[in-house]
Structure 1
Amino acid sequence: MAEMIRHTNIDRISNLPWDVLDTILVHIPLKEAVRTSILSSKWRYKWTGLSRFNIDDKCFPSYLSDKVLRWKVILKIIHQVQSNHGGPVEKFRLAAYCMPNHCDLDQWIWFLTDKGIKELILKEFDSIKRFKLPSEVFSCPQLSCLELYGCTIMLSPTFRGLNSLISLNLSHIYISSDTLESLIVNCPVLERLTLINIDHSTVFKISNLNLKYLKIDSKFEDICLKNVPLLSTVDICLRVKPRHSDQGKACNLVRVIGCLHGINKLILSSNFLEFLAYNDVPERLPAMLNHLLTLDLRDARLDSSKVVKVLLSILCSSPSLEELIISVSPLCGFSFLDFQRAECLVDLYFNNLKVVKIRGLLSTNHECEFIKFILAHSPVLETITIVTYVGEIIPNSVLLQFEPASEHVKVISLRS
Structure 2
Amino acid sequence: MPRKGRKRSQSLIPDVLSNLPENVIDVILVLLPCKDAVRTSVLSKKWRYHWCRLTELTLDASLWKTTKDLLNPTVKFTKIIYQLLSLHEGPITKFTLNMAFLEKSGPMIDNFIYFLSRNGIQHLVIFFPWYHLYKLPSSLFSCSELRHLNLHNCSIHHPSAFQGFDKLVSLVLCRVTISSELLESLISHCPLLGRLVLNTPEVLDTIEINAPVLRSFNFTGNISSICLKNVPLLVKVSLESDDIRAEDLDFAKVFESCSALEHLSLNFFNSQIFAAEGYEAPTRLPFDLSVKRFYLPDIYLVDSYKLSYALCLIRSSPYLEYLELQVYSEAEDDDGMLEPLEVERFSDVTFNHLTEVKLDFFGGKMSEMRLIKLFLAKSPMLVRMLIDTCYLDGEPLETRLKIFAEVSKFVRASPEAEVIYDKFKYHITYI
Residue 254 of structure 1 aligns with an amino acid whose one-letter code is A
Contact 1:220 1:240 in 2 (8 A): no
Aligned twin of 1:35: 39
1:55, distance to aligned residue in structure 2 (A): 1.6
Aligned twin of 1:165: 168
Aligned to 2:107, the other structure's residue is in SS state helix
Aligned to 2:37, the other structure's residue is in SS state helix
Aligned twin of 2:260: 262
1:389, distance to aligned residue in structure 2 (A): 4.9
Return the alpha-carbon distance in structure 2 between the equivalents of residues 338 and 218 of structure 1: 27
Any idea what the Cα deviations from partners look like across 1:334-357, whole Å, max 9, x if unmatched? 8443453656x2263333323322
Contact 2:308 2:340 in 1 (8 A): no
Aligned twin of 1:90: 93
1:274, distance to aligned residue in structure 2 (A): 4.4
1:172, distance to aligned residue in structure 2 (A): 1.6
Aligned twin of 2:312: 313
Aligned twin of 1:322: 321
- 1:327-342 maps to which residues of 2 (within 5 A)? 327-329=326-328, 331=330, 335-338=337-340, 340=342
Any idea what the Cα deviations from partners look like across 1:340-398, whole Å, max 9, x if unmatched? 3656x226333332332223455333331221121233333223214475884573222
Q: 124, 133, 137: which one pairs with 2:136?
A: 133
1:53, distance to aligned residue in structure 2 (A): 0.3
Contact 1:170 1:198 in 2 (8 A): no
Structure 2: any 5+ residue segments left out of the alignment? 427-431
Aligned twin of 1:363: 364
Contact 2:244 2:272 in 1 (8 A): no
Aligned to 2:58, the other structure's residue is in SS state strand
Aligned twin of 1:54: 58
Return the alpha-carbon distance in structure 1 between the equivalents of residues 227 and 243 of structure 2: 13
RMSD of aligned residue pairs (Cα, Å) = 3.5
Shift of the 243–283 alpha-carbon distance from structure 1 to 2, 3 Å rule, reads: closer
Shift of the 259–310 alpha-carbon distance from structure 1 to 2, 3 Å rule, reads: farther
1:112, distance to aligned residue in structure 2 (A): 0.7
Aligned twin of 2:118: 114
1:255, distance to aligned residue in structure 2 (A): 2.1
Q: 389, 393, 405: which one pairs with 1:397?
A: 405
TM-score by length of 1: 0.84
Residue 77 of structure 1 aligns with an amino acid whose one-letter code is I
1:167, distance to aligned residue in structure 2 (A): 1.0
1:29, distance to aligned residue in structure 2 (A): 1.3
Aligned twin of 2:244: 241
Aligned to 2:254, the other structure's residue is in SS state helix
Any idea what the Cα deviations from partners look like across 1:213-265, whole Å, max 9, x if unmatched? 11111246622111111111111112253498x6xxxx712222354221111
Higher mean alpha-carbon deviation, 263-272 vs 151-160, is at: 263-272
Contact 2:113 2:140 in 1 (8 A): yes
Aligned to 1:226, the other structure's residue is in SS state strand
Return the alpha-carbon distance in structure 2 between the equivalents of residues 71 and 222 of structure 1: 38
Residue 267 (structure 2) pairs with residue 294 (structure 1): no
Contact 2:90 2:119 in 1 (8 A): yes
Contact 1:337 1:366 in 2 (8 A): no
1:273, distance to aligned residue in structure 2 (A): 9.0
1:8, distance to aligned residue in structure 2 (A): 4.0
Residue 339 of structure 2 aligns with an amino acid whose one-letter code is L
Return the alpha-carbon distance in structure 2 between the equivalents of residues 306 and 374 of structure 1: 20
Contact 1:270 1:301 in 2 (8 A): no
Aligned twin of 1:45: 49
Aligned to 2:15, the other structure's residue is in SS state coil
Aligned twin of 1:381: 383
Residue 416 of structure 2 aligns with an amino acid whose one-letter code is E
Aligned twin of 2:420: 411
Contact 2:245 2:273 in 1 (8 A): no
Aligned twin of 1:181: 184
1:22, distance to aligned residue in structure 2 (A): 2.0
Figure out how many residues of one structure are paired with residues of the other and give that number.
406
Return the alpha-carbon distance in structure 2 between the equivalents of residues 204 and 367 of structure 1: 36
Residue 398 of structure 1 aligns with an amino acid whose one-letter code is E
Shift of the 242–408 alpha-carbon distance from structure 1 to 2, 3 Å rule, reads: closer
Aligned twin of 2:199: 196
Higher mean alpha-carbon deviation, 345-354 vs 159-168, is at: 345-354
Return the alpha-carbon distance in structure 1 between the equivalents of residues 13 and 420 of structure 2: 67
Q: Identity across aligned pairs (percent)?
A: 32
Shift of the 57–409 alpha-carbon distance from structure 1 to 2, 3 Å rule, reads: farther
